[in-house]
């Protein structure tokens, strides 16, 4: 009764006379709250307003009175008002709390067992992993994601050594993968996930970028991947020496030549650290055309040209050149020059052709590979980095035959 009187004193509404504040409608403990009727005529206006419980019991056949909860809300004008429905901002806050609870349950289901939620529910939806369709995941795995590769190939790409030398290191038990010694070069590894050690040194998670150069090889240099004083790779000494300064955090690339030129042969040779690219260019099955300028001693007649065109046997295979042409004499050259184009790619093929034709070779220079030609202003021992258009010239024929 005291609480009822206090409620009435705080909210003196003139239209409220009797409010069945606690009306018992059944034997069970259940209460309904409803608004009362208008005041009777015999009640004076200046009399105090009180809320009195209705002691009368409802009729059994009467419909149950709906439960109404009064809400005291402060309006925009700052005054307190009484209403029968909750305020809009309260309903909105309840809805947001319910949605946050559902989002939290979704995040907890995605987390592994034993993991505790550290991020608030509001951030759960932004940090969760998005879902993609099967077609999108398949395209990513086949075209973008790097698939596990053979251990020997990964070591060679990281610049450890040549692929054959890497296989020897693996056979000798000097390579460990995730703490276990691996003796199979064909083992599949993922450089981003697996921990690989070679001779106790951890392999970097980053691979050096793919590099491609066109070099004008001088006479007296051998085509070897070893940084010897007379190797082709030694001509890149300054480039490799400054690698760490210009490319911090990246391992030094291991450069090697694509194919080989004799120590006495000059001209165009490709230098790279991409093994797959080198295999496509240098393998005889690519049938990539290679153009040479052969300078010979003595005179060249039709019989010599006929013998050159008939070809010769090299490494057990009869090789026939694609083109044999006698070039016109130049004022600064006293010896005749022959343009010879071959595609077999056999070792010493051009030298054997000239020898079989009965000619004495004075010098040999390669000037073209595929559609790519050696620039006339590129000096001996100098190199240039290949551009995107150069790859189409180099690999044009190779892609058609693979």
Q: Catalytic amino acids?
A: 262
Backbone angles phi, psi at 338, to 5 degrees: -115, 135
Beta strands across the sheet bearing 201-202: 180-181, 175-177, 196-198, 201-202
Whole-number Å distance between alpha carbons of 148 and 55: 83
Under 8 Å between Cβ of 232 and 226: no
Separate counts of helices (H) and strands (E) for the chain: 12, 21
**Terminal-residue alpha carbon distance, the chain:** 98
Q: Which residue has the tokens 């004495």?
A: 360
Separation CA 239–CA 221 (nearest Å):
18
Residue 81 to residue 85: CA distance in whole angstroms: 12
**Residue 146 in 3-state DSSP?**
coil
Q: Which two tokens stand for residue 327?
A: 């070039």
Q: Which residues contact 246 (CB under 8 A, 6 or more apart)?
A: none
Residue 66: both structure tokens together = 């709906």
Q: Pairing between strand 360-369 and 266-272?
A: parallel
The full DSSP string for 113-156 is TT----S-HHHHHHHSPPP--HHHHHHHHHHTSPPPEEHHHHHH
Count of beta carbons in the 10 Å neighbourhood of residue 16: 19
């Amino acid at each position: 009764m005291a609480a009822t009187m206090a409620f009435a004193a705080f909210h003196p509404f003139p239209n409220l006379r009797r409010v069945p504040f606690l009306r018992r409608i059944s034997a069970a403990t259940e209460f309904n709250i409803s608004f009362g009727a208008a005041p009777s005529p015999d009640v004076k206006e200046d009399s105090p307003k009180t809320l009195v419980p209705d002691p009368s019991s409802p009729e059994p056949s009467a419909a149950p009175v709906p439960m109404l909860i009064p809400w005291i809300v402060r309006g925009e004008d700052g005054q307190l008002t009484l209403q029968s429905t909750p305020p809009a901002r309260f309903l909105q806050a309840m809805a947001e709390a319910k949605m946050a609870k559902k989002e939290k349950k979704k995040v907890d289901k995605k987390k592994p067992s034993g993991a505790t939620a550290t991020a608030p529910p509001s951030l759960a939806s932004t940090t969760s992993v998005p879902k993609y369709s099967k077609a999108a995941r398949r395209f990513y795995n086949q075209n973008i994601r790097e698939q596990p590769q053979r251990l020997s190939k990964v070591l060679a790409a990281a610049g450890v050594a040549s692929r054959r030398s890497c296989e020897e290191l693996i056979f000798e038990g000097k390579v460990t993968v995730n703490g276990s010694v691996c003796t199979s070069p064909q083992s599949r590894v993922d450089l981003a996930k697996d921990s690989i050690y070679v001779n106790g040194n951890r392999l970097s998670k980053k691979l050096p970028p793919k590099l491609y150069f066109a070099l004008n090889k001088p006479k007296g240099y051998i085509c070897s991947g070893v940084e010897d004083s007379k190797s082709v790779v030694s001509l890149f000494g300054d480039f490799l020496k400054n690698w760490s300064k210009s490319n911090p955090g990246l391992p030094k690339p291991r450069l090697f030549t694509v194919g080989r030129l004799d120590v006495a042969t000059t001209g165009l040779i490709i230098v790279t650290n991409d093994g797959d690219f080198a295999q496509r260019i240098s393998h005889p099955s690519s049938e990539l055309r290679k153009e040479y300028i052969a300078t010979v001693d003595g005179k060249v007649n039709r019989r010599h040209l006929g013998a050159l065109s008939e070809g010769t046997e090299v490494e057990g295979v009869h090789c026939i050149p694609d083109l044999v042409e006698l070039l016109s004499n130049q004022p600064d050259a006293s010896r005749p020059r022959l343009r010879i184009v071959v595609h077999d790619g056999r070792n010493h093929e051009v030298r054997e052709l000239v020898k079989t034709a009965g000619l004495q070779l004075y010098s040999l220079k390669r000037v073209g590979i595929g559609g790519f030609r050696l620039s006339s202003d590129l000096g001996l021992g100098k190199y240039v980095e290949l551009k995107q258009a150069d790859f189409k010239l180099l690999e044009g024929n190779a892609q058609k035959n693979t």
